[in-house]
Chain A
Amino acid sequence: MSSIPGTTPPLLQVEGLIKRFPARGGKTVHAVEDVNFSVKRGTTVGLVGESGSGKTTAGRTLLRLIEPTGGRAIFDGTDIFALPDKEMRAYRRRMQIIFQDPFSSLNPRMRIEAILGEALDACGYPRGSKRKDRVNELLSLVGLQPDHARRFPHEFSGGQRQRIGIARALAVEPDFVVADEPVSALDVSVQAQVLNLLSDLQKRLGLTLLFIAHDLSVVEYLCDEVVVMYLGRVMERGPSRLVYTSPRHPYTKALLATAPIPDPERRRLHVPLAGDIPSPINPPSGCVFRTRCAHAIDACAQTVPTADHIGGDHHVACIRHRELAEIS
């Protein structure tokens, strides 16, 4: 896809991303297969899926925290997958990650100022009093106090630790941040604080976010666009509004239908999606979702469905999406 004159190209364009891991007995784990999507500047894209969908692997290969097997990731005009390590370092400053578990992602023996200082070192920030100011600035950016700088991670609650993780990611002034399930380890009453902070920081700093999550309501709230993954492949992607109000892929429909609704008078009566996610070592032929799909036909086993553009940036990878749309 080339950019049309007059429109800004996306900050990140992912094309044909593949990540395979070797497994025992010469087998291969197909963690991510032919994933395509783009992230426009200043927007938030949600990558959703169940465990084993490949969403975390996809996020990490984009930062080359794990090396991709194939595909391209065009970041601001450069294919970062093709860069030698040395040149990649410069790009790492512009791409950061916030991890899920704020308990294991902060070194327990380091004070907060040292944790943030390490990130500042990485971008060659000078030492001295200016650095102290920068640490204070980062802490206040995420809603913490300057006197927190001298403390250790264990002195903080889960929500505060996640704020520190966010401050560390933002220390090098990145353009692009991958947030990998940043609130799922937090208590419900604290999740909203962190979501508000992320939403606020994105607006203030003009960040571009890739938000990886399994919680559909969080993604709907926070993300401009959503990419729905299943067993390493993209099932459906598009503007959140379209995907949530008129899902076209049977998997997206099932996922939305099974999320529990906090309303006792709207209880569901049946389970729309049976069975388990198959093994990525031996994924089903054709459409990977067909073994659990209520609408699967013989043809679904024959070919891997391509992503059909159905208007308004909305893409769906299902050979039957047109006839299914007519039925419903």
Chain B
Amino acid sequence: MSDLAPDTILSVRDLRTWFKSRRVIAKAVDGVTFDLKRGQTLAVVGESGSGKSVTSLSIMGLLSPPGGIESGEVLFRDSKGVVHDLARASAREFRRLRGKEIAMIFQEPMTSLNPLYTVGDQIGEMIALHERMSHAEARRRALEMLRHVEIPDAANRLDDYPHQMSGGMRQRVMIAMALACNPSLLIADEPTTALDVTIQSQILDLLRRLQDQFGMSILFITHNLGVVAEIAQDVVVMYSGRVVEHAPVVPLFRKQKHPYTQGLLACTPNAARDLSASGERKALYSIPGSVPPITALPPGCAFAPRCRYAIDACSSIPPQLEAVGDHHLSRCLRSAEL
């Protein structure tokens, strides 16, 4: 299992995470494969129900019943070069890795912080959990982290409670906490979705700078293609629990192959394309219907009922993820002809 390329920090291989009840099986993640290279950012893009968040929870070992990993491997190389299979890691192994080697930031920083403790205490607790140091030392490190994430007047903000901070500042605190033990992998699950655009751009910029400085790899989960274009080197597009397209960022935006990716890019309004010279509105490209429930996926290609290129075969033959270019994969029966 340790056949992990030296420059690869995370390798998710044919991961299946299912939620089982007596009557139905929800295959939230169904055969997902991707690699994340050291020091790079991989974006996982998808809408609600695509399985992007369940993928990140599976990697972190944060699933709770009835959800569980059915099969597959999640190989992770820690800072000492030891390879762990997170799909089979024990609770004890996870306790050692989480926070220290792999850290996570979430969409809503308010619910991820404890309202009853100061931010300094919370960052300090995180450091003390993994590194032997005195309270005073942990506090010094916490302060240093707040400065790294560019919180103005950090020394005074150390004793603030989360409610005394704005959404953007709280997300900075979360990032400070996540990076306090210098993890090699940061999983960021929609970290800017709850923030305003001006604050979003500050946080993306901060993450890029911290990545240069600390060298961590980032798995970035988002539904926003604009954000993907800003931050990722490599992109995985998910739909209904499966990867439908996987490519480096430039080819993904320049010549996307899968009809779903094409649709996603085409349906965000773009004045240059959707308004005529006289300001007349052209109808927006839209994908008909909505994401099917994960427990009632159509046979064949899950996207077929909404796809403008679907042919009869699409509703019976499940397409495979196939190479369509250099490092470019697409799951579509018709990728060769389209």
Contact = CB atoms under 8 A, between A and B. Distances in A.
A261 B196 CA distance: 15
Interface of B: 47-48, 152, 166-169, 196-202, 204-205, 223-230, 232, 249-250, 252-253, 263-265, 267-271, 274-275, 279, 281, 283-288, 290-291, 306
A192 B250 contact: no
15 contacts: A187-B48, A196-B283, A199-B283, A200-B283, A216-B197, A221-B284, A222-B281, A258-B198, A260-B200, A262-B225, A262-B268, A264-B232, A267-B229, A273-B201, A276-B199
Contact of B284 (A196, A254, A258): A196
B268 A217 contact: yes
Contact of B290 (A159, A195, A214, A264): A159
B80 to A, nearest CB: 34
Contacts of B200: 258, 260
B250 to A, nearest CB: 5
A241 B279 contact: yes
A241 B277 CA distance: 11
B331 to A, nearest CB: 17
Contacts of B306: 189
Contact of B229 (A157, A263, A274): A263
Contact of A261 (B229, B269, B279): B229
Contacts of B271: 217, 220-221, 244
A193 B286 contact: yes
A248 to B, nearest CB: 18
A41 to B, nearest CB: 18
B326 to A, nearest CB: 16
Given A51-B196, A258-B197, A261-B226, A270 B202 contact: no
A187 B223 contact: yes
Contact of B291 (A187, A214, A240, A266): A187
Contacts of B196: 50-51, 214, 277
A259 interface: yes
Nearest to B49: A187
Given A158-B290, A255-B197, A264 B275 contact: no
A258 B198 CA distance: 6
B284 to A, nearest CB: 4
Interface string A96-139: 00000000000000000000000000000000000000000000
B47 A187 contact: yes
A195 B201 contact: no
Contacts of B270: 217, 221
B267 A262 contact: no
Nearest to B293: A157
Interface in A37-86: 50-51
A264 B229 CA distance: 4
Contact of A214 (B197, B229, B267, B268): B197
Interface string A214-234: 101110111000000000000
Contact of B253 (A158, A192, A244, A263): A263
B279 to A, nearest CB: 6
A88 interface: no
Given A187-B223, A218-B269, A221-B269, A262 B229 contact: yes
Contacts of A191: 267-268
A263 to B, nearest CB: 6
Contacts of B227: 260
A4 interface: no
Nearest to A194: B286
